[in-house]
Chain A
Amino acid sequence: MKIDVQGDYIPIALAQLAPGEEIYCESGLDVYMDPTIRPQVRALTQGGVSGVVRRMMGGIPFHMLTFTGPGWVAFSRFRPGEVRVLELSPNETVDVAEHSLLLATGSVRYDVQYVGGTGRVGRMMGFFLDRLTGPGTIAVHGHGNILAFTLQPGETMQIDHGALLLKDASVQVQSFNQPLGGGLAGHAMSFEALHVQGPGRVLLQTLDPTQAMATTK
């Protein structure tokens, strides 16, 4: 399998599949394909009943689209950004923000990872990340530009919730309230952010996907 990224504003990931090779994605991301490509709706049953229930709670659709070669098939998130293609070795696990996975090869295991919130009303009551385990290849779409960091053991950074695109499973994420200055007013106006701690890779995106969706409605 070969995956090329084309375009530098709203990029596509163009996959060249050999006979029998398979990739999957959420529905609605395919741009074009060869007539030889065989699309198919497939129930995502990895992990049995508990896996299905957990993924459904995490907002991952029960049905995915699979595309089987031979031929070319192109995918896009249809929003400005950058695409990164990552090779996952066996049992290597990464967590990807919702609405950011573009495609994964058939051998990649798809699950969810829950990050607890601070208990405040809003999206930070907790959220889910897509958990992907190799072996295989994945492509992710970062909204805006992608900023890459490698955190050393114990190294930390504090990030906006919408900025997180991808992290290694070894990177710990915890939500916290960031006071907006001192005093009672500072706490009352606090906002929720994420505290991440290495070791491992962290990819950030410069455009919050919820903002990107709001502006393209």
Chain B
Amino acid sequence: MKADTVGTITPAILVTLNPGERILTPHGLMLYKEPNVKLNRKTLKSLGVGMSDLMAYSAMGAKEEEYFLVEFEGPGNVTLSRDKGGEARILPLAPGQTVQVAQGHLVGLEPTVRYSPVLVARYQNPLNPNEVQMLWADRLTGPGTIILQGHGNVLSFNLQPGESMRTSVPAFLLASQTVGIQVQTQFPPNPTGIVTRPLTQAYLFGPGTVMLQSGT
């Protein structure tokens, strides 16, 4: 499989598949394909996601979670787009290497990559304390290539052991499995006495790679 980024405003990923080669993508990303490319449906269950996990996603209200992925099978070209402005990244994962990609940013993965949606954190909506929000991610384990797209520009960091950083929750794009993630809400010191919104941030603890996005 060969993947290339085309365009810079709303990038598309041109995937060239040899005979029998396949790529998995969330549904609705196809821009065009050659007629030779076959299209199949792969349920999360068939990809190894447990039934109990699927029921948990549903119970926790993972509204945007897909219960199947679309599989394109070569030979031929297929082009994928997330319909959002930003940068795309094509990342090879080594065997056993695991990353978590914020939900809604995965563009594609090779079938050799193990896929599993995961709930990273639950936290209060800073604008409505009665509402619970959830940070979902796609957990991906190599070997194989994954493709993702950030909204806006993608900023990469490599955290050393013990090093940490704080980020707004929507800015989170990708983290290595070794990176600890906690979402916390705090009220910053406010000498004016005027009521302000609480600050909800994701705390990221090294070691590992972190990618953030500049748009939401």
Contact = CB atoms under 8 A, between A and B. Distances in A.
A and B from one assembly? yes
Contacts of B81: 144, 163, 206-207
A206 B41 contact: no
Contacts of A207: 9-10, 81, 83-85
A156 B83 contact: no
B30 interface: yes
B153 interface: no
A147 B6 contact: yes
The number of chain A residues touching the other chain, given as a range, is 20 to 34
A107 interface: no
A157 B33 contact: yes
A80 B35 contact: no
B39 A159 contact: no
Contact of A156 (B31, B35, B42): B35
B10 A204 contact: no
Given A80-B10, A145-B8, A181 B40 contact: yes
Contact of B32 (A8, A158, A180): A158
Main secondary structure of the interface of A (DSSP, over half): mixed
A90 B124 CA distance: 63
Contacts of A114: none
Contacts of B9: 8-9, 80-82, 144-145, 206-207
Interface string A131-170: 0000000000001110100000000111110110000000
B11 A160 contact: no
B41 A157 contact: no
Given A144-B7, A145-B6, A145-B10, A159 B83 contact: no
Given A145-B9, A178-B39, A181-B40, A158 B34 contact: yes
Contacts of B79: 147
Contact of A181 (B33, B41, B83, B84): B41
A208 interface: yes
B196 to A, nearest CB: 27
A157 B35 contact: yes
Contacts of A179: 39
A180 B27 contact: yes
B41 A180 contact: yes
Contact of A143 (B8, B10, B39, B41): B10
A124 to B, nearest CB: 14
A50 interface: no
Given A145-B10, A180-B41, A181-B40, A160 B35 contact: no
Contacts of B28: 191
A149 to B, nearest CB: 9
B70 interface: yes
Contact of B34 (A147, A157, A212): A157
Given A147-B7, A160-B32, A204-B31, A181 B85 contact: no
A145 B41 contact: no
A182 interface: yes
Q: Which of B6, B28, B39, B83 neighbours the largest number of chain A CB atoms within 10 Å of its CB?
A: B83
A185 interface: yes
A206 B70 contact: no
B12 interface: yes
Interface string A53-80: 0000000000000000000000000001
Interface string A1-26: 00000001100000000000000000
Nearest to A212: B83
B29 to A, nearest CB: 9
A206 B10 contact: yes
Interface in B1-28: 6-12, 27-28
Contacts of B35: 156-158, 195
Given A144-B12, A206-B7, A207-B9, 10 more contacts: A144-B83, A163-B32, A180-B70, A181-B42, A182-B40, A182-B41, A186-B41, A193-B30, A207-B10, A207-B81
Interface of B: 6-12, 27-28, 30-35, 39-42, 70-71, 79, 81, 83-85
